[in-house]
């Protein structure tokens, strides 16, 4: 097997993200049921807003409030905080934004028992702060009382007539507690609020959140680091905290030395002979600074490559993006990707291993390890994916995904845009209106030539719903994904997901390139006649060619060999024809696999036909010729009794198989020709179908070739 040269480079590129110490973890958080005690008139009511006027009750920001002692959080001592009427506090003297819908996503050093934009005060609403206890063991209680939910959505109905809760800060231990009081549902039916509750330092990797969607929140758990909507909660008339539910966030004793490989940015499929660059996020989870930390990328399997990048320094709770040197895969097959740091106090997080498949000409922006998620982008929006291509390529086709049958038949478009540093540039090609198919949306591209980087853009028209599936990735890799709204006229905005949460989901697509064909293939077409596909192709020179294989696929991805033709070995023109008969309803894709004498493989462009109607029974088999066995496929209109008989080409019986009763739909019969010891040659098989509904018997005859 060919191997890439071992490469160890000394340069490194990393981007420091945070420089503080966050000592809370999900493992040190807990929940319990306690007694909720209202503050009554204790402490001070918060009545003045940040600008010095009367405190409002909808997305308003309070004046600066005193904690009453020094509270250490994220490596900093705080003695004050600012309250948001949206249900959270921000430590320090800087006001949080009054327009945030998810303050946990973009604010720093926030504590949020409820993080939701739709809270407002009722007629008896009150915000209050009260600090009590002996010096060294004081507790600051911040109370939200008499709030209700609201929304600007037309037709919204209120879910709660009243809700109240407290946030507690503990001196010395720096413990945080949320204590939930009475949530009084109205009984109205309405939409879910999806939100978060927890604590956050500088980014969503310094983060502990209560996660889960149990009815009373008691069975929910805790998670470190944000990972999309799956770590959020529901708040509505059926999902709300039990009275006295208490969430406790304790500080942890951090290990002295703990480097964590947080995420590895790879693809599920990459193209050979196209430079590929892997990135990773490394985090210092320990108490001590890290100096001169080597981070190793190791590629093994079909291709081999090694690169070591050195992080000169990494403060506790800091995060670094490590960019490895590019490597160029030359062999088709699976690559095992490992990113690792040196062994330290916590071995379990020192390495991440992924698999990337090197292909002849496919790049897939699915990660290969994150599940394709729900569709959550807006209608009337363009979404762009940067394809980091090198050199000149011819795009054969693009594939998108749709995970829900609810969207089948909906409209979307796909386009190719040129590259610019600020997002998609000019349009290189745009599809006609397309309609969603379940799972795979295969879009042929008429030979668009790209040179270097470019964008694939997916357009969801301005109608209700959005149809193309996304994939969760957190933190979202940078400078790859862009969106704009409205379509065609909006300004492109980059999607980010580390320090701020613009998005934790990404559109995904596959790009298939046309492998440069040898001059020996001069023509390739496919035509449809009823349920048959007839392929025509011509060659001009077969001196170096070993064989030509015709391949068929039902989805444009998974291919089966229909027939293998030995090359004629001459330098003259040759013409070929092959008919694929008895196709069932659906799209069928065809390509030619050209195998040279030296083992080099190239593929033709992909052609397709669509069968929209069939007769009562469609019969076909492959492989044909068969060496050991062939599968006879047939589609039944009704339940039927089916038997199979094998004959010589002259009609002499060889073997008759016992009848079987089968249900309507697609069926198959495995015919093992090796067990019958058949010599090479032409044979005939007959399928006898007795329709259970009409009680009529029909015979279908097909030729079968056997090779030894």
- Record the tokens describing residue 75, joined without a space: 């490596």
Tokens 């920001």 label which residue? 61
Number of domains in the chain: 5
Domain's final residue, options 476, 511, 546: 511
- Burial of 188-207, coded b for 16+ CB within 10 Å and e otherwise, reads eebeebebbbbbbbbbbbbb
Same structural domain, 559 and 422: no
CATH of the domain at 660: 2.60.40.2550
Q: Please state, rounded to an integer, the average pLDDT across all residues of the chain.
A: 83
Burial class (CB in 10 A: 0-12, 13-18, 19+), 422: exposed
Residue 154 gets the label, from left (phi > 0), alpha (psi -120 to 50) or beta, of: beta
Q: What local confidence, expressed as pLDDT, does residue 455 receive?
A: 96
- 308-332: per-residue pLDDT in tens? 999 999 988 888 999 999 999 989 8
Asked if residue 35 belongs to a domain, the reply is: yes
Asked if residue 21 belongs to a domain, the reply is: no
Q: How many residues does the chain have?
A: 708
**How far apart are the C-alpha atoms of 292 and 311, rounded to whole Å?**
5
Q: Who contacts 421 (Cβ-Cβ below 8 Å, separation ≥6)?
A: none
Same structural domain, 464 and 568: no
Tokens 């009848």 label which residue? 659
> Which comes out higher in pLDDT, residue 249 or 513?
249
End-to-end CA distance of the chain: 29
Count the Cβ atoms, other than its own, within 10 Å of residue 3.
11
pTM of the model: 0.62
Radius of gyration of the chain (CA): 32
**How far apart are the C-alpha atoms of 637 and 615, rounded to whole Å?**
8
Same structural domain, 638 and 607: no
Which residues lie across from 670 on neighbouring strands? 631
Same structural domain, 268 and 372: no
Q: Is the pLDDT of residue 524 over 80?
A: yes
Quick check: 276 and 328 in contact, CB under 8 A? yes
Over residues 680-698, mean pLDDT: 82
- pLDDT band per the 50, 70, 90 thresholds, residue 18: very low
Same structural domain, 205 and 306: no
Q: Is the pLDDT of residue 354 over 60?
A: yes
Q: Is the pLDDT of residue 668 over 90?
A: no
% of the chain beyond a pLDDT of 90 = 35
Q: Is the pLDDT of residue 500 over 60?
A: no
- pLDDT band per the 50, 70, 90 thresholds, residue 373: very low
Q: Is the pLDDT of residue 396 over 80?
A: yes
Handedness of CA 550, 555, 559, 562 (dihedral sign): negative
CATH of the domain at 413: 2.60.120
Q: Are strands 305-314 and 290-301 parallel, antiparallel or unpaired?
A: antiparallel
Q: Which domain holds residue 416?
A: 365-511
**How far apart are the C-alpha atoms of 689 and 698, rounded to whole Å?**
5
Q: What local confidence, expressed as pLDDT, does residue 634 receive?
A: 82
> Which comes out higher in pLDDT, residue 702 or 61?
61
State how far the alpha carbon of 295 is from the alpha carbons of 37, 268, 339, 698, in Å: 51, 22, 7, 68
- pLDDT band per the 50, 70, 90 thresholds, residue 391: confident
Tokens 């980091």 label which residue? 388
Over residues 341-362, mean pLDDT: 93
Phi (first) and psi of residue 614, to 5 degrees: -135, 165
Asked if residue 2 belongs to a domain, the reply is: no
State how far the alpha carbon of 581 is from the alpha carbons of 625, 650, 683, in Å: 14, 22, 17
> Which comes out higher in pLDDT, residue 675 or 71?
71
Count the Cβ atoms, other than its own, within 10 Å of residue 497.
24
**How far apart are the C-alpha atoms of 510 and 606, rounded to whole Å?**
15
State how far the alpha carbon of 234 is from the alpha carbons of 172, 242, 473, in Å: 33, 14, 21
Asked if residue 601 belongs to a domain, the reply is: yes
- Give the DSSP H or E segment for 106: helix 103-106
**How far apart are the C-alpha atoms of 420 and 423, rounded to whole Å?**
5
User: Any idea which of 30-44, 302-316, 422-436, 608-622 has the lowest mean pLDDT?
Assistant: 608-622
Q: What local confidence, expressed as pLDDT, does residue 15 receive?
A: 36
**How far apart are the C-alpha atoms of 403 and 382, rounded to whole Å?**
19
633 three-state secondary structure: strand
Over residues 564-581, mean pLDDT: 83
> Which comes out higher in pLDDT, residue 509 or 5?
509
> Which comes out higher in pLDDT, residue 58 or 401?
401
Asked if residue 203 belongs to a domain, the reply is: yes
CATH of the domain at 527: 2.60.40.10
User: Any idea which of 135-139, 203-207, 345-349 has the lowest mean pLDDT?
Assistant: 203-207
- pLDDT band per the 50, 70, 90 thresholds, residue 8: very low
Same structural domain, 183 and 232: yes
- pLDDT band per the 50, 70, 90 thresholds, residue 101: low
Burial class (CB in 10 A: 0-12, 13-18, 19+), 316: buried
Q: Is the pLDDT of residue 542 over 90?
A: no
Tokens 């680091």 label which residue? 225
Residue 74 gets the label, from left (phi > 0), alpha (psi -120 to 50) or beta, of: left
Domain's final residue, options 511, 537, 559: 511
- Record the tokens describing residue 148, joined without a space: 């209700």
Same structural domain, 179 and 217: yes
- Record the tokens describing residue 501, joined without a space: 């949460």
> Which comes out higher in pLDDT, residue 473 or 418?
418
User: Any idea which of 116-125, 447-456, 569-578, 621-630 has the lowest mean pLDDT?
Assistant: 116-125
Asked if residue 15 belongs to a domain, the reply is: no
Q: Who contacts 93 (Cβ-Cβ below 8 Å, separation ≥6)?
A: 64, 80, 82
Domain's final residue, options 586, 614, 642: 614
**How far apart are the C-alpha atoms of 563 and 591, rounded to whole Å?**
12
Same structural domain, 129 and 100: yes
Tokens 């609201």 label which residue? 150
**How far apart are the C-alpha atoms of 195 and 193, rounded to whole Å?**
6
Question: Sheet holding 290-301: strands in order across?
Answer: 305-314, 290-301, 333-341, 351-359, 269-271, 362-364, 510-513, 392-402, 439-451
Cis peptide before 572 (omega within 30 of 0): no
Same structural domain, 291 and 440: no
Count the Cβ atoms, other than its own, within 10 Å of residue 577.
8
Same structural domain, 647 and 603: no
Quick check: 387 and 452 in contact, CB under 8 A? no
Going through 421-492 in order, the beta strands assigned E by DSSP cover 423-430, 434-435, 439-451, 454-460, 470-472, 481-484
Angle at 546 between CA 542 and CA 551, to 5 degrees: 100
Same structural domain, 82 and 168: yes
> Which comes out higher in pLDDT, residue 669 or 339?
339
Asked if residue 18 belongs to a domain, the reply is: no
32 three-state secondary structure: strand
- 159-195: per-residue pLDDT in tens? 888 889 999 999 999 999 999 999 998 888 766 665 7
- Burial of 245-269, coded b for 16+ CB within 10 Å and e otherwise, reads bbbbbbbeebeebbbbbbbbbbbbb
Which residues lie across from 470 on neighbouring strands? 373, 507
Over residues 210-217, mean pLDDT: 89
- In terms of average pLDDT, the best of 58-72, 121-135, 381-395, 616-630 is 58-72
Phi (first) and psi of residue 235, to 5 degrees: -135, 110
- Burial of 451-489, coded b for 16+ CB within 10 Å and e otherwise, reads eeebbbbbbbbeeeebbbbbbbbbbbbeebbbbbbebee
Burial class (CB in 10 A: 0-12, 13-18, 19+), 72: middle
Asked if residue 9 belongs to a domain, the reply is: no
From 213, 216, 220, 221, select the one nearest 244 (Cα to Cα): 216
**How far apart are the C-alpha atoms of 162 and 113, rounded to whole Å?**
16
> Which comes out higher in pLDDT, residue 124 or 605?
605
Over residues 222-235, mean pLDDT: 76
- 258-306: per-residue pLDDT in tens? 999 989 999 999 998 889 999 999 999 888 999 999 999 999 999 999 9
103 three-state secondary structure: helix
Quick check: 379 and 461 in contact, CB under 8 A? yes
Q: Is the pLDDT of residue 376 over 80?
A: no
Same structural domain, 158 and 204: yes
Q: What local confidence, expressed as pLDDT, does residue 107 receive?
A: 86
- Record the tokens describing residue 90, joined without a space: 């921000």
Over residues 20-46, mean pLDDT: 91
Over residues 352-373, mean pLDDT: 79
Q: Is the pLDDT of residue 47 over 80?
A: yes
């Amino acid at each position: 097997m060919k191997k890439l040269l071992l490469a160890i480079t000394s340069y490194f590129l990393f981007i420091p993200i945070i420089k503080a110490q966050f000592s809370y973890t999900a493992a040190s958080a807990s929940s319990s049921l306690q007694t909720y005690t209202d503050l009554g008139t204790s402490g001070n009511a918060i009545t003045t807003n940040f600008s010095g006027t009367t405190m409002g009750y909808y997305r308003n920001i309070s004046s600066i409030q005193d904690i009453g002692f020094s509270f250490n959080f994220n490596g900093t001592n705080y003695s004050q905080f600012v309250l948001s009427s949206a249900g959270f506090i921000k430590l320090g003297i800087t006001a949080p934004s009054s327009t945030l819908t998810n303050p946990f996503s973009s604010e720093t050093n926030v504590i949020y028992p409820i993080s939701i934009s739709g809270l407002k005060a009722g007629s008896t609403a009150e915000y209050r702060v009260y600090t009590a206890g002996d010096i060294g063991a004081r507790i600051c209680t911040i109370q939200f009382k008499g709030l209700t939910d609201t929304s600007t959505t037309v037709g919204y109905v209120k879910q709660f007539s009243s809700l109240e809760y407290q946030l507690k800060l503990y001196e010395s231990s720096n413990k945080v507690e949320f204590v939930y009081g009475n949530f009084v549902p109205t009984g109205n039916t309405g939409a879910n609020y999806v939100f978060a509750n927890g604590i956050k330092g500088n980014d969503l990797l310094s983060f502990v959140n209560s996660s889960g969607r149990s009815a009373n929140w008691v069975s929910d758990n805790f998670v470190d680091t944000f990972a999309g909507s799956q770590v959020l909660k529901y708040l509505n008339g059926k999902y709300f905290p039990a009275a006295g539910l208490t969430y406790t966030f304790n500080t942890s004793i951090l290990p002295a030395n703990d480097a964590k490989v947080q995420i590895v940015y790879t693809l599920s499929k990459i193209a050979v002979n196209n430079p590929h660059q892997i990135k990773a996020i490394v985090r210092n989870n320990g108490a001590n600074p890290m100096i001169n930390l080597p981070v190793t990328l190791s590629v093994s399997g079909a291709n081999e490559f090694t690169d070591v990048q050195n992080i000169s320094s990494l403060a506790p709770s800091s995060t670094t993006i490590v960019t490895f040197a590019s490597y160029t895969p030359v062999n088709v097959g699976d690559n095992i990707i490992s990113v690792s740091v040196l062994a330290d106090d916590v071995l379990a997080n020192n390495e991440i291993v992924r698999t990337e498949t090197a292909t002849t000409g496919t790049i897939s922006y699915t990660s290969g390890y994150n599940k394709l998620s729900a569709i959550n982008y807006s209608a009337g929006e363009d979404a762009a994916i940067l394809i980091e291509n090198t050199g000149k390529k011819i795009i054969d086709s693009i594939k998108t995904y749709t995970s829900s049958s609810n969207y089948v038949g909906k409209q979307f478009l796909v386009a190719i845009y040129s590259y610019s540093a600020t997002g998609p540039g000019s349009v290189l090609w745009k599809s006609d209106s397309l309609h969603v198919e379940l799972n795979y949306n295969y879009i042929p591209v008429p030979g668009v030539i790209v040179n270097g980087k470019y964008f694939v853009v997916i357009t969801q028209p301005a109608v209700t719903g959005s149809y193309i599936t996304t994939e969760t990735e957190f933190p979202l890799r940078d400078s790859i994904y862009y969106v704009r709204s409205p379509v065609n006229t909006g300004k492109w905005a980059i999607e980010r997901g580390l320090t701020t949460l613009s998005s934790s989901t990404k559109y995904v697509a596959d790009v298939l390139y046309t492998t440069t064909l040898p001059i020996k293939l001069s023509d390739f077409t496919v035509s449809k006649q009823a349920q048959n596909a007839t392929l025509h192709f011509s060659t001009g020179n077969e001196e170096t060619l070993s064989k030509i294989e015709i391949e068929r696929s039902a989805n444009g991805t998974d291919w089966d060999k229909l027939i293998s033709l030995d090359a004629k070995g001459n330098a003259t023109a040759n013409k070929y024809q092959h008919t694929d008969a008895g196709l069932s309803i659906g799209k069928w894709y065809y390509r030619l696999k050209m195998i040279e004498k030296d083992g080099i493989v190239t593929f033709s462009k992909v052609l397709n036909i669509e069968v929209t109607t069939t007769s009562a029974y469609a019969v076909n088999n492959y492989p044909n010729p068969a060496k050991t066995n062939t599968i006879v496929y047939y589609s039944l209109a009704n339940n039927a009794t089916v038997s199979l008989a094998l004959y010589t080409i002259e009609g002499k019986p060889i073997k008759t198989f016992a009848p079987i009763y089968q249900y309507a739909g697609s069926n198959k019969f495995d015919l093992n020709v090796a067990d019958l010891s058949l010599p090479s040659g032409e044979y005939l098989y007959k399928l006898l179908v007795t329709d259970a509904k009409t009680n009529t018997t029909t015979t279908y005859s097909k030729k079968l070739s056997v090779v030894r």
